[in-house]
Structure 1
């Protein structure tokens, strides 16, 4: 296993939140929480949605930063929040670390969980697993959790679009 389950989940949630910026105002908080169930305080109000939308550029910068810059971004994120780390387990997950109290705003908890996950990425030297989608028309973040480091696209849609384009280009070249 490359990363622990909580690290993987935090990275997947951060990438999903960042990638929800396109198209603008398409963010569906309920769908996000179904896919990435966070424990603790969840307000589901306009302020929380606004805070999560506002968090996306910061998460994108953290995720795509070169290693040393990523470390600085992580340190900044951790310095911005009052930390109260504790081990916890809940809803079928084994022991893992919650770095802030459950009553903190969701955007703050996502920021800190992303920072904590990026600590593992930095320490393992695995920053190359986070990149911009290889589709020239897409600017989404791609997270490669494959064993052989083969994932280049943010989604199956982008991968399929490029595979079809490559196939058509090869066919056109043979005609």
Structure 2
């Protein structure tokens, strides 16, 4: 996928946000302000100064909305879900350069809350993916005990596991052992 650094960054951020949820089969790793602050810092979310309980509640709701986009049964449903999410966001596109990154577009309005910031930037990244006809790249891990989501960036769109070193390796070892027993 020949996307710019901001698109790749936004897609990685939305995947990481969704995968903090227990609805992906793991533990909830976004339960307090410390964890939210770590998420913001890890993903270099700019313009965020003070986080409060409202931010935590809104971001937890937002991640579930994004999860519904990823797990939509078809592209038309994903479009409806993403449009619903985007309609609740003030979007103010502007060009910016910061933190050593080349010129790119931010979509959140100046002074936006963390919820509006992420809804706008991450939502627009997903919108561009859908516009490019790449809805099929939004995937859920094929490992039976994993529900993590990912964006398949492989050239031939063949990736099936969220991480080849964990889920992929575990499934390949299980298949190998099953063949050896047979």
Query: Runs of at least 4 residues of structure 1 off by over 6 A?
Result: none
1:26 corresponding residue in structure 2: 29
Change (3 A) 1:151 1:17: same
2:12 corresponding residue in structure 1: 12
Is it true that 1:166 corresponds to 2:169 in the alignment?
no
Q: Which runs of 5+ in 2 are unaligned?
A: none
Change (3 A) 1:34 1:146: farther
> TM-score, normalised to structure 2's length?
0.85
Q: How far is the alpha carbon of 1:63 from its aligned partner?
A: 2.5
Q: How far is the alpha carbon of 1:18 from its aligned partner?
A: 0.6
1:63 corresponding residue in structure 2: 70
Number of residue pairs matched? 173
1:54 corresponding residue in structure 2: 61
CA RMSD of aligned residues (A): 1.8
1:108 corresponding residue in structure 2: 116
> TM-score, normalised to structure 1's length?
0.88
SS in 1 for 2:109: coil
SS in 1 for 2:125: helix
Change (3 A) 1:139 1:12: same
Work out whether residues 65 and 85 of structure 2, in 8 Å CA contact, stay in contact via their aligned partners in 1: no
Supply the distance in 1 between the matched residues of 2:71 and 2:129 (Cα, whole angstroms): 12
Supply the distance in 1 between the matched residues of 2:27 and 2:168 (Cα, whole angstroms): 22
Change (3 A) 1:112 1:160: same
1:35 corresponding residue in structure 2: 42
Supply the distance in 2 between the matched residues of 1:144 and 1:5 (Cα, whole angstroms): 16
Supply the distance in 2 between the matched residues of 1:98 and 1:125 (Cα, whole angstroms): 22
SS in 2 for 1:139: coil
Q: Which runs of 5+ in 1 are unaligned?
A: none
Give CA-to-partner distance per residue, 1:32-60, whole Å, 9 cap, x none: 23431110124233332222112111011
1:117 to 118, 122, 125: 125
Work out whether residues 42 and 105 of structure 1, in 8 Å CA contact, stay in contact via their aligned partners in 2: no
Q: How far is the alpha carbon of 1:24 from its aligned partner?
A: 4.2
Q: 1:150-161 counterparts in 2 under 5 A?
A: 150-155=158-163, 156-161=165-170
Supply the distance in 1 between the matched residues of 2:108 and 2:68 (Cα, whole angstroms): 22
